[in-house]
Amino acid sequence: MQNNSKIVFVSGANRGIGFEFVRQLIGKSHKVIAGYRDENRSQDLLEFGKKSENLFPFKVDVTSEKELSELKSFISSEFGKLDFLINNAGINENRSAKTVEMDLQDLTHIFNVNLGSAFLATKFLHSLLLKGENPKIINLSSHLASISLSNGYSVPYSISKVALNMLTKNQATEFQEDKISVCAISPGWVRTAMGGNSAPLSAEESVSKILETVENLSLSESGQFLDIDGNKIPY
């Protein structure tokens, strides 16, 4: 991203990596629309919103077309464009389940969140990205999405992130003419509620490196699967 102020939407922004994206983007003087679902689990974000004129917390379920339509209307009326979309919302449930132990409902639920939210948010906000300056879409993926590196861990989550990577690749191809860069980035193993306390990376370290990588991302690199340092991860 460039130094001039950008209009950014971050999904799943109430905690962990999402909240850190908000904190650091605000620190760079960007205007951030921060998506959250549950007020009771978003107090830090809402309190932060009271202190920053550049932060706009917005209650939205990014798997709901109705609520995404409302989000689109808000961004359109307030800013008229979107420069940067961070599809961060995700869950990792039933992480120890084997393929023969999962119900189809379990798999469908995690796909709806991890894949469906990025698919729908991009679909609804695409027209605003067309009006943005050097627009970019970042889909938060995972090393666990690499088929060639798979170790059979977190099966439902990893399968959903593989699908997210394929969505990224298709979006990148489709949006070349629109000059919208799209990439999937693994944040690494991060100390969050999802990553646990044993993870080697802090959210601050991960997000700082991701934003640096995104700043240097060109349209010619669209469709890649990257780590936080910008290195390619094998699909």
Strand order across the beta sheet in which 136-140 lies? 55-59, 31-36, 7-10, 84-87, 136-140, 181-185, 225-226
Q: Please work out, in degrees rounded to the nearest 5, the angle formed at the alpha carbon of residue 78 by the alpha carbons of 13 and 32.
A: 25
Check: CB of residue 15 under 8 Å from CB of residue 44: yes
Q: Which residues are catalytic?
A: 157
- The sign one gets for the Cα dihedral 157, 195, 143, 177 is positive
3-state secondary structure 148-184: CCCCCCCHHHHHHHHHHHHHHHHHHHHCCCCCCEEEE
